[in-house]
């Protein structure tokens, strides 16, 4: 017998979630490629390298040994020990393996952290511009993102006085991301120290740590224990598809976060965790090689963009992004990005994806080969000549 279609009542926050525009650029580019159009991809923040050989061998060995079952909900004890060792070696901070929860990428780590900090209508301070998905995670737990503008002339550093003006009784956390997506800039140790003085938990997204080309990035744990560190293996080790991350949390928060993990995710993938152990122990030379290559691309791209008339007030020194002011071309970065894609066959990400204060900027990713980046810049030059100086 025919059953009438159910009346699906989709909740408002699901309807209102903003799209991740970089994926829409990527999807449009894929549609163009299906029609035989060659597109240079500088929109996506994904390493173009294969995983290190030691990682692929560890995955293969894990399958051979039958390590394909559930692990401890907090993660393989051996992996958590290696992560703790890495934070001691790189930052001089002692972290107990019992403070570490291994997750299927850093996104679940964000959700677990917000899940123990935020009640309905609580507030979390984020930068504008900043990583596009932070605000959506915050809204998903029924909290409110409070955006603090950061400025090009400051190298997109937080101004602590701007944060002070926005702190209320409902403020439950301050989010930082250094090196930063979308700007590639690194938060100074002085600003990090000043942020700890507010005595509010800091959520520090350190996913791009290790991809630093001048000086070094500091972990928030060097300055405060009142912090949650988000990190993972996707960027530094080119392990995006293996979906492996972790959160380092204050001891009193670990048990409730573990219970959330058990209910929402059970545990991270067992074979990916073995790959993580191999990466931390054996992939040092691979990381060094990738970092040298990224830096070569970074230097070239800064030079070429400057030659094309773009002003980069504070050159980025981390991650694999350059956030470029394009206000002299257009006040609508979404329209500009798709126009560049359509006419120049070059994928870039509109600044509006990263917040209202990102409007008027374009993000270029140099997670692509130098040959492709050079071709992308040639295409951009032709586009600019046709746009600014049409025949």
Rounded CA separation 227/350 (Å) = 31
- Measured distance between the N- and C-terminal CA atoms of the chain, rounded to whole angstroms: 67
How remote is the C-alpha of 387 from its chain's centroid?
Answer: 32
Tokens of 250: 């204050």
Residue 193, Cβ density class (10 Å: 0-12 exposed, 13-18 middle, ≥19 buried): middle
- pLDDT above 60 (res 83): yes
In sequence order, what are the beta bridge partners of 363?
323, 349
Q: In the chain, which segments carry CATH 3.40.640.10?
A: 53-282
Q: Closest by alpha carbon to 203, among 300, 134, 293, 121?
A: 134
Quick: pLDDT tens for 133-157. Answer: 999 999 999 999 999 999 999 999 9
Q: Which residues, other chains included, contact 333 with Cβ-Cβ below 8 Å and sequence gap of 6+? A: 326, 350, 351, 352, 358, 359, 360, 361, 362
pLDDT of residue 11: 81
Asked if 140 contacts 169 with a C-beta cutoff of 8 angstroms, the reply is: no
Q: Domain spanning 53-282 has what CATH number?
A: 3.40.640.10
Tokens of 184: 């590639």
- pLDDT above 60 (res 2): no
Rounded CA separation 270/97 (Å) = 17
Question: Would you say the C-alpha torsion 115, 116, 122, 126 has a positive or negative sign?
Answer: negative
Quick: pLDDT tens for 217-267. Answer: 999 999 999 999 999 999 999 999 999 999 999 999 999 999 999 999 999
Quick: pLDDT tens for 308-347. Answer: 999 999 999 999 999 999 999 999 999 999 999 999 999 9
What are the angstrom distances between the C-alpha of 245 and each of 79, 216, 222?
Answer: 11, 21, 20
Exposure pattern of 138-152 as b/e (b: 16+ CB <10 Å)? bbbbebbbbbbebeb
pLDDT of residue 391: 44
Q: In the chain, which segments carry CATH 3.90.1150.10?
A: 12-50+285-386
Q: What is the residue whose two structure tokens read 């994928």?
A: 347
Tokens of 96: 């107990």
- pLDDT above 50 (res 353): yes
Q: What is the residue whose two structure tokens read 């030691």?
A: 54
Whole-number mean pLDDT of the chain? 95
Tokens of 302: 């800064």
Rounded CA separation 198/222 (Å) = 16
Topology (CATH) of 12-50+285-386: 3.90.1150
């Amino acid at each position: 017998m025919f059953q009438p279609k159910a009346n699906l009542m989709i909740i408002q926050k699901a309807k209102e979630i903003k799209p991740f525009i970089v994926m829409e650029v990527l999807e449009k580019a894929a549609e163009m490629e299906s029609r035989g159009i060659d597109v240079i991809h500088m929109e996506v923040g994904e390493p173009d390298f294969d995983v290190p050989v030691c990682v692929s061998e560890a995955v293969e060995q894990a399958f051979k040994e039958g390590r394909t079952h559930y692990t401890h909900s907090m993660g393989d004890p051996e992996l958590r020990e290696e992560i703790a060792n890495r934070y001691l070696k790189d930052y001089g901070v002692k972290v107990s393996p019992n403070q570490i929860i291994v997750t299927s990428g850093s996104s679940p780590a964000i959700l677990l952290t917000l899940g123990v900090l935020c009640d309905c209508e609580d507030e979390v301070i984020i930068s504008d511009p900043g990583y596009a998905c932070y605000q959506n995670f915050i809204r998903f737990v029924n909290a409110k993102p409070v955006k603090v503008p950061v400025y090009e002339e400051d190298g997109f550093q937080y101004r602590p006085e701007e944060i002070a003006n926005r702190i209320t009784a409902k403020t439950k956390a301050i989010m930082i991301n250094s090196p930063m997506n979308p700007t590639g800039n690194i938060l100074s140790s002085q600003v990090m120290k000043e942020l700890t003085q507010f005595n509010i938990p800091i959520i520090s997204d350190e996913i791009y740590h290790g991809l630093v080309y001048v000086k070094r990035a500091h972990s928030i744990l060097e300055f405060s224990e009142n912090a949650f560190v988000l990190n993972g293996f996707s960027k530094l080790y080119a392990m995006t598809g293996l979906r492996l991350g972790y959160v380092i949390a204050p001891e009193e928060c670990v048990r409730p976060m573990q219970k959330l993990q058990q209910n929402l995710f059970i545990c991270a993938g067992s074979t990916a965790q073995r790959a993580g152990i191999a990466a931390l122990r054996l992939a040092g030379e691979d990381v060094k090689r990738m970092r040298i290559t990224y830096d070569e691309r970074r230097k070239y791209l800064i030079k070429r963009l400057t030659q094309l008339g773009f002003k980069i007030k504070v050159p980025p020194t981390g991650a694999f992004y350059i956030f470029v002011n394009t206000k002299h071309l257009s006040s609508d970065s979404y329209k500009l990005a798709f126009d560049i894609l359509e006419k120049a066959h070059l994928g870039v990400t509109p600044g509006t994806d990263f917040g209202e204060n990102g409007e008027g900027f374009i993000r270029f990713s140099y997670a692509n080969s130098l040959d492709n980046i050079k071709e992308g810049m040639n295409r951009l030059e032709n586009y600019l000549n046709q746009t600014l100086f049409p025949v």
